[in-house]
Structures are given as C-alpha cells and as structure tokens.
Amino acid sequence: MMPRLAAITRSVAAGRTSWLVGLVLLLPPVFFLHPLAVDETRYLAAAWNMHVSGQWLVPRLDGLPYPEKAPLLFWLINLAWSLAGVHAWVARLLELLIALGTLPLLASLGRQLGLDRSSLQAAAWLWLGCAAVALYADAVMFDMLLTLCTLAAWRFTPMLAGRNRLVGSVLLALALGAGILVKGPVALLVGGLPALLAPLWMPEARTRMPAFYLHLSGAFVLAIAMALAWAIPAARAGGAAYADAIFLRQTVGRVVHSFAHPHPWWWYLPMLPAMLLPWSLAITRDADTARAAAGDAAAIRFTAVAFIPSFIVLSLISGKQPHYLLPILPPLALVAGSRFGAGRWRVAGWRLGLVLIATGATMAIGMGRLAPATRLETGLLGAAMVLLGMLYVRRRGHALPVSLATMGVLATLTLCKLAFAISLAPRYDMRTVAARIATAQHAGVPLLYAGTQYGLFTFAGRLTQPIEQTSDGAAVLAWAHAHPAGWIISGDANHQYRAAPLYRQAYLGRKLGIWLAADIARSTPVASATRGEGEG
C-alpha cells in the first residue's frame, strides 16, 4: 500500500504546477462569460428545472422529459449550487475543476505505463495547453466530465491483472458507470475498449488472461447495472416516448443517420489537427539530444488501442462534433510527453509565436468586422496576442520549455474569450430578454414561443413554468387570436413578423423579438429559410 501511495503522491506532484497555472489562467472566463445559446442555455435550463422541481430522476426541458442527455452532470451542477448558490459561474467553475482533475489522472496513468517524471510533466503541460482542453475547460458541456471518467477507467484497468482485482473491478465499474450516466453507451466504447484489448498493451493481462477477463466482465456488468439503476426507474417515470429515446433513439439514432450533426466519415480527419493546436504546428523533432524514453513503447502500445479503434468507430458514427473527440485525446499527450522527456521532440518557439500572431490577427480582424462597435477593444486584445507571439518568435534557435509554451497558449485563449465576451457574446446573452419574460410570466401574461426554444430563457430568467411553443405558423396565428393580450416570442427566422415588436435584440446571426399577440393576429409572417440548431 505504501509504494502505491508514494506513486500517487509523485503523480500529483508532477502535475501540481500545471494544475495551479491552469487554474489561474483559465479562471477569469468562468466569471465574465455568460451562458451561451443554445447548448449551455439548455443544459443549465435542464439543471435549473431539476433544482426547482426537486425531481432528479428525469431531466426536463421546457416542461417535457429531456432524453438527449444523461443526468450525472445535472446532478453535479445541482450539488454545486447547493454549496455555492445558483449562479452560472458555479457551473463553469465545476467544469474547470473537472478539467483540472484530468491532470492528476493523466499523470497517474502515465506513471502506470512507466513514464518518468520529466515525461509526465511534459504530458501534463501538453494536455493543458491543447486547444481542445483550453477551449472546453470552462464550457457547460458533457465531454470534459466524460474525459475524466474515461481516464479513471483507463487508470483502474491494470488493477484487474494485479493483486487487488476485486477492488479494481469495482473502481473500473464505477468509472464506466459514471461515464454512461454522463453521455450514454459511448462511455463503454472510449473507456472500455482498451480494457477489452488489454493483452495488446499490458503484459500482465496476457499472463493472467482468464482471471483478467472474468473480473473485466464483472466490471462491465456492474457498470451497466449502475446505469440501469437510473435508466429503468427514469423510463417508467418519463413515459414510453422517453423510454424509447434513452434506450434506442439516442444511441441507434446517432449512429446510422444522425438526427443531430450528421457528417461524412472523413470529417474528423481534418478536425483532429485543429483540436491539437498549437502542438500540431509548433512541435518539432530534436534528434540531436534524443535518448531512450522510459515508458515510450508502453505509451505507444496503449495509445494504439485507446485512440485508434475509438477514432475509427467515432468516424463511422453519423453524428459528429469536434468535442466528441476530447475523451480519446489524452493518450496522444502521453506519447508526446514521453518524446519530450527523451529529448526527441521540442516546441519550436518561432512556430508557436507565428500561431499566436495568426490567432491574434485573425481574432482582431474577424471580431472587428462582425462587431464594428467593439473594434478598438478587440483590436487592442489582438495586438496583445500579436506582441506575445512576437516574444516567442524571438526565441528562434533557443529551446522553449513546454511549460512556458503552454502559459502563452492559455493566456492567448483567455484573451480570445475576453474579446468574444466584449464583441459577439451579447448576441448570445439571454439575460435581458429573459428578465422581461420572467416579469410577464409572474404577472400572468400568456406566452408562446414560435419555433423551438431550447430552454433559452429558463435559467437566465429563473422561470418556474415552461413556455408553450410551436413551430407551426397556423398554430401561432390561432394562438394569437385566442390570446390577444399575450406575448409571442421568437428568434426563429421562419417566425418574424411585420408588426412592431415590443422588444428586439440580436440573437446569433439573426434577431430575437417579442410581439403582442393582437398585433401578430393582424400581421402576416415574413418567411425566410433557416436551419435549426441541433443537439450538442
């Protein structure tokens, strides 16, 4: 027990500095970014409905069961709210702590694979500075939590071939079961596939194969039982349609012809280098100082079974989003860390500098065009990024510590988020309109949303009753005639009206308005095509 405790302590120490740096540099957006439509608003809406109703079994959105996501993140958000109050920043801080929680798990997994201290430190910095991690670290989404569960499952898998097999089986089951409760059966794919292929990367599994697979089978059964302990009661409480959705539509429906985010099989191929920025452009070989890397071969074998099969399967699934790749990226950081630890790879300062310069210039030009009123502020922030990049360019020919490179990346991305908050975030900000809607709801004004609301106003307005909604134009007009004193709300381009609105604001790339129903009844909708938002 003492050697294992010492190993865990060394793993934590290896990532302690990167953890603190990540907390400091990634913390500001937690407080200045408000929930973004449509993903974050609906996830917070589902969590808020759970909070208001006190019913945690079936997540609900806009008054209906919400089968698109499993409940664990909603549960954690509500637990955090019970400790720190109901605020959006609490949910963002929870996500940031989850992201930082992947660092000690990554270090512990790397140590299990035999990586030395320098390799572990490099892997932690590379993981933290990866664009995919830094961008999603504070986002109220499910993929970082799934990544944490996946790393835990990978870390506990070797225990099934050791002396504490029973303990390892239970811990692996808890990690996989939690993953299913985060995002469904995909957790078994990304978290369990390396366990199924363990003899390919873990010699101990080959020597004790019958016992290993016996305990692995037990872990899988226990994980599925853990998920079913929620799913079966939830299916009964949510009704037949909800049961069909959580058991079939949300798995089979996304695999073949996805109802959300369908893309061709090759879509992840160009997306992967973008997710790995800036390292996909800034890392170069340094063979002159290369030495044998402890754990390099083991890290490569593990990456081959943890990344490649899952990447292929995810590519064959119809529904795709960039963040779906997040849980399978940590092995790439371990391999890269081992190469850095051996002196075979290094960060080219001038390459990193050019990436930061390009980021700053692109941000300033793009934000300036999209939000001309904030051109000065975003220009100054872009100039700061360009100056930071120039400092790295000047280090041409000098070794650049990966820790210093990561700090520059995190600082740049935080400045990008600040520029977004200043310029484009108001188009996603539902607080003002939600306050108006909440006041009307409390006053008993009938409300209808024309289109699909996606919980846009629920959390921002702390609404306690769902807003009726319909996408049928005839139904909207019928409702307007029946409720002349009511309000019709819409941000849908198919539901814009000639009548003068009571309120209007920018919303994504279009307008969101509130109209008096009596005015709508006397007007004709101005139709224009739009593509609805899909599930994140």
Measured distance CA(285)–CA(348) in Å, rounded: 9
CB proximity list for 433: less than 8 A, separation 6 or greater: 457, 489, 503, 505, 512, 514
Mean pLDDT in residue range 11-40 = 84
Q: Are residues 392 and 307 in the same domain?
A: no
- The confidence score (pLDDT) of residue 258 equals 46
Measured distance CA(67)–CA(42) in Å, rounded: 13
448 pLDDT more than 60 = yes
Mean pLDDT: which of 162-171, 262-271, 441-450 is highest? 441-450
Q: Quick one: pLDDT band at residue 5, thresholds 50, 70, 90? A: very low
Q: Are residues 255 and 322 in the same domain?
A: yes
290 pLDDT more than 80 = no
Measured distance CA(130)–CA(302) in Å, rounded: 20
319 pLDDT more than 60 = yes
- The confidence score (pLDDT) of residue 397 equals 65
Q: Are residues 293 and 362 in the same domain?
A: no
Mean pLDDT in residue range 326-335 = 96
- The confidence score (pLDDT) of residue 35 equals 92
- The confidence score (pLDDT) of residue 535 equals 47
- The confidence score (pLDDT) of residue 528 equals 40
Report pLDDT digits (tens) over 343-402.
899 999 999 999 999 999 999 999 989 899 999 999 999 999 999 999 999 877 677 899
Phi, psi of 27, rounded to the nearest 5 degrees: -70, -40
Q: Are residues 440 and 521 in the same domain?
A: yes
What is the full DSSP assignment across 21-85?
HHHHHHSHHHHHPPPPTTHHHHHHHHHHHHHHH---SS-EETTEE-TTS-SHHHHHHHHHHHHH-
Q: Quick one: pLDDT band at residue 162, thresholds 50, 70, 90? A: confident
Q: What 3-state DSSP class applies to 342?
A: coil
In a domain, 49, yes or no: no
In a domain, 107, yes or no: yes
In a domain, 521, yes or no: yes
- The confidence score (pLDDT) of residue 2 equals 42
CB proximity list for 15: less than 8 A, separation 6 or greater: 103, 104, 106, 107, 120, 121, 124
Q: Are residues 378 and 468 in the same domain?
A: no
- The confidence score (pLDDT) of residue 16 equals 79
- The confidence score (pLDDT) of residue 363 equals 94
Measured distance CA(496)–CA(510) in Å, rounded: 10
In a domain, 240, yes or no: yes
Q: Are residues 457 and 438 in the same domain?
A: yes
Q: How many domains does the chain have?
A: 3
Q: Quick one: pLDDT band at residue 44, thresholds 50, 70, 90? A: very high
Report pLDDT digits (tens) over 216-256.
999 999 999 999 999 999 999 999 899 998 887 655 545 54
% of the chain surpassing 70 pLDDT: 90
Q: Are residues 376 and 502 in the same domain?
A: no
Tokens of 350: 């001038």
In a domain, 97, yes or no: yes
CA angle 7, 13, 16 (to 5 degrees): 145
In a domain, 114, yes or no: yes
- The confidence score (pLDDT) of residue 496 equals 83
In a domain, 61, yes or no: no
In a domain, 237, yes or no: yes
532 pLDDT more than 50 = no
Q: Are residues 278 and 188 in the same domain?
A: yes
CB proximity list for 170: less than 8 A, separation 6 or greater: 219, 222
Q: Quick one: pLDDT band at residue 525, thresholds 50, 70, 90? A: low
- The confidence score (pLDDT) of residue 534 equals 43
Averaged pLDDT of the chain: 89
Q: Which of 108-117, 327-336, 521-530 has the lowest mean pLDDT?
A: 521-530
- The confidence score (pLDDT) of residue 292 equals 60
Question: If we measure between CA atoms, which residue out of 141, 24, 111 comes closest to residue 406?
Answer: 24
- The confidence score (pLDDT) of residue 453 equals 86
CB proximity list for 81: less than 8 A, separation 6 or greater: 47, 51, 87, 90, 91
What is the full DSSP assignment across 158-193?
GGGGSS-HHHHHHHHHHHHHHHHHHHTTHHHHHHHH
CB proximity list for 229: less than 8 A, separation 6 or greater: none
Q: Are residues 363 and 499 in the same domain?
A: no
Structural domain for 494, as ranges: 430-526
Measured distance CA(245)–CA(69) in Å, rounded: 10
**Amino acid present at 196:** L
Q: Are residues 285 and 389 in the same domain?
A: no
Q: Are residues 79 and 149 in the same domain?
A: yes
Report pLDDT digits (tens) over 78-90.
999 999 999 999 9
6 pLDDT more than 60 = no
Q: What 3-state DSSP class applies to 448?
A: strand
Measured distance CA(384)–CA(388) in Å, rounded: 6
| Bigger pLDDT: 531 vs 219 | 219
529 pLDDT more than 50 = no
- The confidence score (pLDDT) of residue 498 equals 86
Whether 340 and 285 have beta carbons less than 8 Å apart is answered as: no
Q: Are residues 341 and 352 in the same domain?
A: no
Question: Within 10 Å of residue 9's Cβ, how many Cβ atoms?
Answer: 10
Mean pLDDT in residue range 477-506 = 91
**Amino acid present at 520:** I
